């Protein structure tokens, strides 16, 4: 256990206890935004590349920029996407199987079609409408829990876009099944009634059943306009020699709905928390958005693509938010053959974990790394990934939802800072396990600007 076989020199590190490895230390909760203590201590003791054992698997953790780069560039050649076995169970075999090789490319193109610039351009009015309606609704309530409420807004929008699902008209709540699914996602994999893991699998099962029913219903319909994911899938399934199957399409649907609403709602909630504590950032953000409104010839028109593209400070703000949020604390791969790197050998079949928090909080690259400073992105390329920025991954598997997330965040922030004031009511503290969580939510009171002018407790500059 302690000395795994290797045709060379393994990186330094500890394999922990038999079976458990260092899994418990890795998942142990902490409340800071710094590099997770598990990683930080080992970096200090062993250097930037070290070995460990997580969820029953030998893993090499990389906090080394060159090794990270190598891992992202060699995707499919030397490394392959890999997530723990419980994830395979949970996300469906079709998904995991189909995320490699030929099928993978096909699916990626399909998703890029749905969330590429052309689709996003058309989506702007819908996203703005959703943000405005949501804010209006929130301003009638005494307090809104932002994590849950933004998740609802984003889920409804994504589900409408992907499968024309309308939560107000549906008999069963699709989102609730996803919530049960997420709550047990990182839990001990014991599938007996009552456990979080069991609820997670049940949530997935029910959501999949709903999606399957919807797809089947749709197959029997004649639709005038073909504009969502189901329309696309039905067309593809009709083609002769297609590689797509109904099972693959449904698994992919599930992953897209999951990936979109959990990540973006965390990012938005974290963004509003940061904004509440940084009045100068809020001021500049507000100035950028007020200026857009002032320049507009027709005051009744919505945000145009050109206006969206001009939101430079907003994009700096979003990058800085996701740098500090570290929503994805580890990116996993499996080695396909022995790899020699900087004098160490990583044996074939081992897992490697790239650790974005160690990259994003590296004091050699980010001055005062824990400070929230969107201006540090001035003049820096804001799209894509680099050796020092990988909140959305890197290389071939770079997140296909990045632009979709940015559209949703930027448009929501636009409506928030131009139309509303808000004040934190309670919660807002974070825990990392090691994924970001708001254990008590983040409750805020929101008011339309003119209603709250007299109240100095409300945040917003003018
Ligand atoms: C703040 C929001 C988001 C963050 C931080 C995020 C982060 C990431 C990261 C780090 C990866 C790379 C995983 C890897 O290399 O193994 C990834 C991949 C992916 N993301 Fe996102 N994501 C976000 C939003 C979204 C959204 C809105 C969607 C849905 C449209 C989405 C769909 C995907 C998919 C399908 C992949 C797999 C791509 C592939 O394997 O090529 N993500 N994301």
Task: State the Cα–Cα distance between residues 66 and 139, nearest whole angstrom.
Answer: 48
Beta pairing, strands 344-346 & 351-354: unpaired
Strand, helix or coil for residue 405: helix
User: Which atom of ligand 1 is found nearest the CA of 356?
Assistant: 10
What is the value of ipTM here, to two decimals?
A: 0.99
The 10 Å Cβ neighbour count of residue 365 is 14
* Pocket flag, ligand 1, residue 119 (CB < 6 Å): no
Task: State the Cα–Cα distance between residues 50 and 13, nearest whole angstrom.
Answer: 5
- CA of residue 46 to ligand 1 center, whole Å: 30
Q: Nearest-CA neighbor of 260 among 137, 398, 399, 387? A: 399
- CA of residue 404 to ligand 1 center, whole Å: 10
Residue nearest to atom 40 of ligand 1 (CA): 397
Residue 356, pLDDT score:
96
Residue 197, pLDDT score:
82
Distance of CA 5 to the CA centre of its chain: 36
* Pocket flag, ligand 1, residue 259 (CB < 6 Å): yes
* Pocket flag, ligand 1, residue 318 (CB < 6 Å): no
Cβ within 8 Å of residue 450, ≥6 positions away = none
CA distances to 87, 133, 275, 286, 346 from 293, in Å? 45, 19, 21, 11, 55
For the cut 50, the answer to whether the pLDDT of residue 142 exceeds it is yes
Tens digits of per-residue pLDDT, 77-124? 899 877 665 556 655 655 544 444 555 677 778 788 888 898 899 999
* Pocket flag, ligand 1, residue 311 (CB < 6 Å): no
Distance of CA 320 to the CA centre of its chain: 15
Tens digits of per-residue pLDDT, 411-456? 999 999 999 999 999 999 999 988 899 999 999 999 998 765 667 7
Write the CATH number of the domain with boundaries 100-326+361-452: 1.10.630.10
**Is 1-84+327-360 a domain of CATH 3.40.640.10?**
no
CA distances to 50, 84, 328, 408 from 89, in Å? 28, 9, 20, 31
Residue 200, pLDDT score:
85
| 356: its two tokens | 């974005």
For the cut 70, the answer to whether the pLDDT of residue 218 exceeds it is yes
Cβ within 8 Å of residue 27, ≥6 positions away = 186, 433, 434
Residue 106, pLDDT score:
74
Residue nearest to atom 24 of ligand 1 (CA): 401
Tens digits of per-residue pLDDT, 299-341? 889 999 999 999 999 999 999 999 999 999 999 999 999 999 9
User: Which atom of ligand 1 is found nearest the CA of 333?
Assistant: 16
Task: State the Cα–Cα distance between residues 425 and 80, nearest whole angstrom.
Answer: 45
C-alpha count within 13 angstroms, C-beta hemisphere, residue 232: 19
| Of 84 and 153, the one with more pLDDT | 153
Write b or e for each residue in 172-187: b if 16 or more Cβ atoms lie within 10 A of its Cβ, otherwise e.
eebbebbbbbeebbbb
* Pocket flag, ligand 1, residue 108 (CB < 6 Å): yes
User: From the annotation, which residues make up the binding site for heme?
Assistant: 399
Task: State the Cα–Cα distance between residues 197 and 186, nearest whole angstrom.
Answer: 8
| 343: its two tokens | 């004098």
User: Which atom of ligand 1 is found nearest the CA of 396?
Assistant: 41
Q: Please check whether the two domains, 1-84+327-360 and 100-326+361-452, share a CATH topology.
A: no
* Pocket flag, ligand 1, residue 327 (CB < 6 Å): yes
Tens digits of per-residue pLDDT, 364-394? 999 999 999 999 999 999 998 899 999 999 9
**Least confident span in 209-223, 263-277, 298-312:** 209-223
Max CA-CA distance within the chain? 72
User: What is the overall mean pLDDT for the chain?
Assistant: 89
Q: Nearest-CA neighbor of 48 among 11, 8, 78? A: 11
Residue 100, pLDDT score:
47
User: Global pTM?
Assistant: 0.92
Q: What percent of the chain has pLDDT over 90?
A: 58
| Of 109 and 129, the one with more pLDDT | 129
Domain ranges of the chain: 1-84+327-360, 100-326+361-452
- CA of residue 259 to ligand 1 center, whole Å: 6
Tens digits of per-residue pLDDT, 27-49? 889 999 999 999 999 999 999 99
Residue 88, pLDDT score:
60
Per the CB < 8 A criterion, the answer to whether 285 and 417 are in contact is yes
User: From the annotation, which residues make up the binding site?
Assistant: 399
Q: What is the dihedral of CA 403, 319, 354, 38, to 10 degrees?
A: -140
For the cut 80, the answer to whether the pLDDT of residue 10 exceeds it is yes
| pLDDT confidence bin for 172, thresholds 50/70/90 | confident
């Amino acid at each position: 256990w302690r000395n795994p076989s290797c045709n060379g020199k393994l990186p330094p590190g500890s394999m922990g206890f038999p079976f458990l490895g260092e899994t418990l230390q890795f998942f142990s909760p902490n409340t800071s935004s710094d590099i997770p203590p598990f990683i930080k201590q080992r970096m200090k003791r062993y250097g930037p590349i070290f070995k460990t054992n997580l969820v029953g698997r030998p893993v090499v953790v990389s906090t080394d920029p060159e090794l990270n780069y190598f891992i992202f560039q060699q995707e499919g050649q030397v490394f392959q996407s890999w997530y723990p076995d419980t994830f395979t169970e949970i996300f469906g075999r079709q998904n995991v199987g189909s995320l490699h090789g030929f099928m993978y490319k096909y699916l990626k193109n399909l998703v890029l079609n749905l969330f590429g610039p052309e689709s996003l351009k058309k989506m702007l009015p819908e996203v703005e409408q959703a943000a405005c309606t949501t804010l209006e609704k929130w301003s009638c309530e005494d307090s809104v829990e932002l994590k849950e409420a933004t998740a609802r807004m984003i889920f409804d929008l994504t589900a409408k876009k992907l499968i024309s699902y309308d939560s107000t008209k549906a008999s069963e709540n699709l989102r609730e099944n996803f919530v049960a699914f997420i709550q047990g996602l990182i839990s001990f994999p014991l599938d007996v009634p009552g456990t979080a893991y069991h609820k997670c699998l049940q949530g997935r099962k029910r959501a999949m059943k709903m999606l399957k029913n919807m797809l089947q219903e749709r197959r029997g319909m004649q639709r005038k306009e073909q504009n969502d994911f189901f329309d696309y899938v039905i067309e593809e399934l009709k083609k002769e020699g297609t590689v797509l199957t109904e099972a693959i399409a449904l698994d992919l649907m599930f992953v897209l709905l999951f990936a979109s609403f959990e990540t973006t709602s965390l990012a938005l909630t974290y963004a509003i928390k940061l904004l509440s504590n940084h009045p100068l950032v809020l001021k500049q953000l507000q100035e950028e958005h007020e200026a857009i409104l002032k320049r507009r010839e027709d005051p009744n028109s919505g945000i145009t693509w050109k206006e969206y593209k001009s939101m430079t400070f907003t994009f700096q703000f979003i990058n800085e938010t996701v740098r500090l949020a570290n929503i994805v604390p580890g990116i996993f791969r499996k080695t396909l053959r022995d790899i020699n790197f900087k004098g160490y050998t990583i044996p074939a079949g081992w897992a490697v974990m790239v650790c974005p928090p160690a990259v994003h909080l590296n004091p050699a690259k980010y001055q005062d790394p824990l400070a929230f400073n969107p201006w540090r992105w001035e003049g820096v390329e804001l799209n894509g990934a680099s050796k020092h920025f990988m909140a959305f991954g890197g290389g071939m598997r770079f997140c296909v939802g990045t632009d979709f997330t940015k559209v949703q965040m930027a448009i929501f922030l636009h409506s928030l800072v131009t139309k509303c004031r808000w004040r934190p009511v309670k919660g807002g503290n974070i825990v990392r396990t090691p994924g970001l969580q708001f254990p008590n939510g983040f409750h805020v009171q929101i008011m339309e600007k003119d209603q709250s002018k007299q109240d100095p407790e409300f945040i917003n500059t003018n």
